């Protein structure tokens, strides 16, 4: 056998041994790319779900905040002072509902007077008129500490004649 025919036989043998190697390599690259793309798709869909949940929670919290502020104003304008001295809100229904949903959320605000006798600067016993407001998503059931999105305790001081002279937030907790 001459050297030229040996070289041709070697090239033919090598070509038959490497046949299909590029197909295996292409399949391996495609499999790796599929894994990367699958991971990215999972990450994007999870991020979207988390963003939607956070938006809904934030909208409920902001709605509760606005509803409690409206309820505080309603107590301030109540001339009977039921909310300041009694055990329920000074509203005909016993609770406060904003006139329209806030951020697409219907909120219920329950409140109760929590009057406390304290000593003033002249060592006289005066009534500290506190009202506790609980705001929750309106399900036609009274708000509780467990269901409340927001809990606020507000002091409504009065002058010597008993008229309201302002309001002071003592605590404001958002869940």
For residue 38, the model assigns a pLDDT of 84
pTM above 0.95, yes or no: no
Query: Which whole-number Å values give the CA distances from 87 to 35, 127, 132, in the listed order?
Result: 62, 15, 10
CB atoms within 10 A of CB 86: 15
For residue 81, the model assigns a pLDDT of 59
Predicted confidence (pLDDT) per residue in 98-140, tens digit:
888 988 999 999 988 877 777 878 888 777 788 899 999 999 9
For residue 20, the model assigns a pLDDT of 72
Which portions of the chain are predicted below pLDDT 50? Answer: none
For residue 23, the model assigns a pLDDT of 82
For residue 139, the model assigns a pLDDT of 92
């Amino acid at each position: 056998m001459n050297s030229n025919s040996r070289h041709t036989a070697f090239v033919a043998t090598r070509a038959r041994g490497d046949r299909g190697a590029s197909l295996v390599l292409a399949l391996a690259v495609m499999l790796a790319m599929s894994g990367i793309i699958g991971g990215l798709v999972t990450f994007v869909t999870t991020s979207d779900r988390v963003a939607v949940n956070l938006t809904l929670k934030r909208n409920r919290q902001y709605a509760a905040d606005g509803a409690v502020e409206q309820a505080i104003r309603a107590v301030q304008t109540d001339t009977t002072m039921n909310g300041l001295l009694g055990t329920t809100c000074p509203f005909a229904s016993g609770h406060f509902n904003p006139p329209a949903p806030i951020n697409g959320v219907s909120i219920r605000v329950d409140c109760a007077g929590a009057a406390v006798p304290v000593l003033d600067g002249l060592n006289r016993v005066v009534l500290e008129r506190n009202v506790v407001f609980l705001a929750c998503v309106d399900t036609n059931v009274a708000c509780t500490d467990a269901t409340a999105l927001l809990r606020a305790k507000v002091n409504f001081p009065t002058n010597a004649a008993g008229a309201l002279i302002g309001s002071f937030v003592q605590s404001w907790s958002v869940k």
